[in-house]
Amino acid sequence: MNETVHPKRSRRSSGAITLRDVAKLAGVAPITASRALNTPAQVSDEVRQKVLEAVQRTGYVPNRMAGGLASSRSRLIAAIVPSTVMSVFMETIESLNHSLFDAGYQLMLGQSDYSAAHEELLLEAVIGRRPDGIFLTGILPPGRARTRLLASGIPVLETWDLTPTPIDMLIGFSHLDIGRAVASFLMGKGRRRFALIRAQDERAGRRATAFAEAVAQSGHADALVINVGDARSLKGGREAMARVLREAPDTDAVFCSSDLLALGAMTEARAQGILIPERIAIVGFGDVPFLADMVPSLSTVRINGADIGRQAARFLIERAEGRAVSPSIVDIGFTIVERDTT
């Protein structure tokens, strides 16, 4: 037997509560209910209260996408970061999220897992949702993703790096300067035989290259470089440190591309009875929150992630609301934090 579909039923086939339902319960016209929720100054306090009570009773959630389409504003900022697990990026993301929320914006977060292919797929999905701005970790290289971003007209903020030619706006620091500064710091401590423990990503590679070049230019033996690939873990750091001690037992200073790898290196050195810093010094990168409370506490490179997040939110909101940003490139610098391991 064929089933007849009635027009009145098909309109509400999902069963979702609509603004019309809220208006009916509040005893006002749908346009009045809309004003009460979106531009409350245009209705009386009594009407606004009736509509809010109806919203509470029905559980109605406004369709922000529909409102965004009408105004060409989504009040949504998208951010893509390599990782959120034991990550140096978390301070930035938390600060960005809080600053955006206080300004009436929402943050949509994607994780690329340090993969350029994943980042490109995420960007394709993000651009299709037309956010008011996009936050990127690192500099997006030439290619399809960069071309699409430029064509989209969406404000873009690149971070955690420096270049004279960003897509749009940039808040970051020089990885080359960090590598050179850590080498100078350790040589100033009288260290003479160096090793690097690094993960397989382009920014860590630039820090490592600058560090090794600074060591070589100072007349010291070439630094031993251990690349852990994707093993950005405590175990990866331990295994890399074991290789350092086996292949270059006279090493007296190790620079790691992340604090997590540095913690693994510390663990392995102590397991082998090697004194830190008397026998070997260790420096990490990122200054994750608990490092200062460890024994021994880890020397590291600190990036002011909270400041990046706050400035990024301000830049993106300014652009989303049609105002210019100047300067559009900001170098926030870095700090070497000396603790027990050096």
What CATH number is given to the structural domain containing 192?
3.40.50.2300
What number is the average pLDDT over the span 69-93? 80
Give the per-residue pLDDT at 2: 38
Strands 253-256 and 281-285: parallel
The percent of residues above 90 in pLDDT, for the chain, comes to: 67
101's enclosing H/E stretch is helix 90-102
Task: Note whether 213 and 135 are same-domain residues.
Answer: no
Where is mean pLDDT largest: 30-44, 74-88, 124-138, 276-290? 276-290
Task: Note whether 51 and 100 are same-domain residues.
Answer: no
Residue tagged 């460890």 (tokens): 294
CA dihedral (303, 122, 168, 94) positive or negative: negative
Question: Is residue 58 situated within a structural domain?
Answer: yes
Whether the predicted pLDDT of 299 surpasses 90: yes
Give the per-residue pLDDT at 86: 60
Question: Is residue 339 situated within a structural domain?
Answer: no
Number of domains in the chain: 3
Give the per-residue pLDDT at 307: 96
Question: Is residue 182 situated within a structural domain?
Answer: yes
Task: Note whether 138 and 185 are same-domain residues.
Answer: no
- In whole angstroms, give the CA distance from residue 129 to residue 140: 20
Task: Note whether 290 and 201 are same-domain residues.
Answer: yes
Residue 3's pLDDT band (boundaries 50, 70, 90)?
very low
| Token pair belonging to 192 | 């003479």
Q: Residue 100: phi, psi to the nearest 5?
A: -65, -45
**Domain stops at, among 22, 41, 62:** 62
Q: Which amino acid is at 17?
A: I
What number is the average pLDDT over the span 59-82? 71
Task: Note whether 326 and 257 are same-domain residues.
Answer: no
What number is the average pLDDT over the span 191-211? 96
Q: State the average pLDDT for the chain.
A: 89
Whether the predicted pLDDT of 12 surpasses 60: no
Question: Is residue 340 situated within a structural domain?
Answer: no
**Domain stops at, among 15, 42, 62:** 62
Task: Note whether 152 and 213 are same-domain residues.
Answer: no
Task: Note whether 38 and 149 are same-domain residues.
Answer: no
Q: What is the CATH number of the domain that holds 15?
A: 1.10.260.40
Give the per-residue pLDDT at 25: 92
- In whole angstroms, give the CA distance from residue 100 to residue 38: 19
Half-sphere exposure of residue 271: CA atoms within 13 angstroms, side-chain side = 13
- In whole angstroms, give the CA distance from residue 285 to residue 302: 7
> Lowest-confidence range among 56-65, 143-152, 169-178, 282-291?
56-65
Task: Note whether 180 and 292 are same-domain residues.
Answer: yes
Residue 7's pLDDT band (boundaries 50, 70, 90)?
very low
- Which distant-in-sequence residues (6+ apart) come within 8 Å of 130 by Cβ? 68, 74, 154
CB neighbour class for 213 (10 Å; exposed up to 12, middle 13-18, buried from 19): middle
Q: Which residue has the higher pLDDT, 241 or 147?
A: 241
Task: Note whether 221 and 279 are same-domain residues.
Answer: yes
Dihedral of the alpha carbons of 252, 304, 294, 279, in degrees to the nearest 10: 10
What number is the average pLDDT over the span 146-174? 92
Task: Note whether 251 and 312 are same-domain residues.
Answer: no
Residues in the chain: 342
Residue 163's pLDDT band (boundaries 50, 70, 90)?
very high
- Which distant-in-sequence residues (6+ apart) come within 8 Å of 17 by Cβ? 58, 59, 60
- In whole angstroms, give the CA distance from residue 212 to residue 14: 62
| Token pair belonging to 100 | 């955006």
> Lowest-confidence range among 61-75, 173-187, 255-269, 288-302?
61-75
Task: Print the domain residue range for 12.
Answer: 7-62
Question: Is residue 202 situated within a structural domain?
Answer: yes
DSSP string, 292-314: GGSSSPPEEEE--HHHHHHHHHH
Task: Note whether 48 and 109 are same-domain residues.
Answer: no
CB neighbour class for 140 (10 Å; exposed up to 12, middle 13-18, buried from 19): buried
| Token pair belonging to 324 | 């210019």
Strands 156-159 and 194-198: unpaired
Cβ neighbour number for residue 96 with a 10 Å cutoff = 29
Where is mean pLDDT largest: 38-42, 89-93, 204-208? 204-208
Residue tagged 């990782």 (tokens): 83
Give the per-residue pLDDT at 72: 58
Question: Is residue 30 situated within a structural domain?
Answer: yes
Question: Is residue 311 situated within a structural domain?
Answer: yes
Whether the predicted pLDDT of 14 surpasses 50: no
- In whole angstroms, give the CA distance from residue 284 to residue 198: 10
Three-class DSSP labels, 205-240:
HHHHHHHHHHHHHCCCCCCEEEECCCCCCHHHHHHH
Give the per-residue pLDDT at 67: 53
Closest CA to 93 of 152, 189, 159: 159
Q: Which amino acid is at 342?
A: T
Give the per-residue pLDDT at 146: 86
> Lowest-confidence range among 57-66, 82-91, 177-186, 220-229?
57-66
Question: Is residue 115 situated within a structural domain?
Answer: yes
Task: Note whether 310 and 169 are same-domain residues.
Answer: yes
Give the per-residue pLDDT at 101: 93
